[in-house]
Amino acid sequence: MNVIDLFCGCGGLSLGFVKDNHTIVKAVEFDKDIALSYHKNHPNVDLIVDDIRNVDNLNVFTPNMADIIIGGPPCQGFSMAGARIREGFIEDPRNYLFKSYFNVVKCVKPKAFVFENVKGILTMDKGEIFNTILNIFSDKNLLEGDFYSLYFKVVKASDYGIPQDRERVIIIGIKNKNIDIEQIWKQTKNQLADEIPSFFDNVSIYDAIGNLPPETDSGIIETPEARSNYQKFLASCKSKITNHNATKHSTLALQRMKRVKNGENYIVLNENIKSVHSGSYGRLSWESHAQTITTRFDTPSGGRFIHPEKNRTITPREAARIQSFPDDFVFHGNKTTICKQIGNAVPPKLSYFLAKVIDNCIGD
């Protein structure tokens, strides 16, 4: 089926749907540096690099041009409070990201859409914002007689064979019909377990990055032999892998990292570490999961991102492995934008599962 990816980033959501044999026909990304990575890895997609407010209309998107719309509008715009939420939410300029997502759905009228967001959206303004979103997509007056039945679940990446305790809310909208989402979710899990028996296995940090050779200044390494089932799932047929270069840390940061053991964090340093992250200066353990990979995984004070053995934070390739990006995916740009691309992405392996769920929701 044809898919449109809004707020596509570097393409984490797209990758899962492509792996499930869907075709991405159009994508939208505002950040030109991040869009470069999307374009390089998805060269055949019609990528629009623009503010979504300029393109969320019938001049760009036409009825039935896609069966599925995917994307996660950043939640910063969901800023209204109090009794005005319901009546003014969609008109409030601060919520333009959500409104633009809705506008594209209204233009295209896909059979289904997938809306990904942070878990906190469920409780923002005591749940009123989330309830308003549900009401908007169910309102036939706003959708010219159509409606979407909405279903939502909080998903944890580690439950889908990803070595990361990342939680996100997934909202699925199905046009003009009701489904038993719990039954379909269970059905999809059973199907994938039959097709790929190791898909839902518990995956450790060692399973994810244990076969990677030492990092290089260029970030280019020889493709290592895949040992774990997870490594095999992400394996590349190319002879080289990119983005395996380490951050150069200050002398003070290096001294601190040397004193932190597996599973420990800044508390053992007995210093006044200025960080909002409870896992600051945390060292990963080979046998455990990572916490959520954020856009600051290259910074020791940014969370639990220190390599299990080496006195450095994880490389972009190691972070990409933990996020379940395939090894042949190349991240383009400077260090800051690459960290942003990886940290903000939907894990592609989770996206693959969601694509299968959508297949079962709207398949004939």
* Catalytic residue annotation: 75
Q: Mark 246-268 as b/e (b = at least 16 C-beta within 10 Å).
A: bbebeeebeebbeebeeebbbee
Sheet containing strand 148-156, edge to edge, reads 46-49, 23-29, 2-6, 68-71, 112-118, 167-175, 148-156
Q: Is 359 left (phi over 0), alpha (psi -120 to 50) or beta?
A: alpha
**Could you tell me which residues come within 8 angstroms of residue 332 by beta carbon, excluding any fewer than 6 positions away?**
36, 37, 40, 338
As a whole number of angstroms, the distance between CA 30 and CA 7 comes to 7
As a whole number of angstroms, the distance between CA 350 and CA 160 comes to 6
As a whole number of angstroms, the distance between CA 327 and CA 164 comes to 17
As a whole number of angstroms, the distance between CA 100 and CA 58 comes to 12
Helical H segments across 68-121, by residue range = 85-88, 96-108
What's at 155, amino acid-wise?
A: V
* Sign for the pseudo-dihedral over CA of 70, 75, 81, 82: positive
For residue 356, what are the CA distances in angstroms to 12, 118, 191?
15, 22, 9
For residue 284, the cross-strand partners are none
- Write the DSSP symbol of residue 54: G
